[in-house]
């Protein structure tokens, strides 16, 4: 998938960035578990999306509304999982990142 999907290459960079920031911040084991599950969810939905798109392209040579629906729903699942992962990442990495960067913000949580 890395050779054919531009979004997959972006996901690799995002994954590496999150892992690097987590290491730099020294987050605890529970936070690593949640971050790892969020990352895995995004990757799993991306692979399922790719499989659905390939299967639809293989079976449907011409435009069909159900083929479009299948592709749209699969892509929507990736978008939803990426959004959820972004929220999880912000909640877990945000407070220690702000503290480490010493921006002087007062956080309502953490």
Catalytic residue among 11, 43, 46, 85: 46
Q: How far is CA 71 from CA 77, 79, 82, in A?
A: 10, 12, 17
Burial class (CB in 10 A: 0-12, 13-18, 19+), 60: middle
Task: Decide if 46 is catalytic.
Answer: yes
Instruction: Please give the positions annotated as active site.
Output: 46
């Amino acid at each position: 998938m890395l050779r054919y999907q531009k979004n997959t290459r972006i996901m690799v960079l995002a994954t590496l960035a999150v892992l690097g920031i987590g290491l730099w911040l020294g987050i605890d084991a529970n936070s690593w578990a949640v971050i790892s599950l969020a990352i895995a969810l995004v990757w799993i939905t991306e692979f399922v999306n790719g499989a659905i798109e390939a299967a639809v392209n293989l079976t449907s040579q011409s435009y069909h509304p159900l083929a479009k629906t299948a592709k749209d729903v699969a892509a929507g699942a990736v978008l939803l999982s990426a959004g959820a992962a972004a929220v999880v990442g912000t909640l877990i990495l945000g407070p220690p990142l702000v503290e480490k960067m010493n921006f002087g913000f007062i956080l309502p949580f953490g």
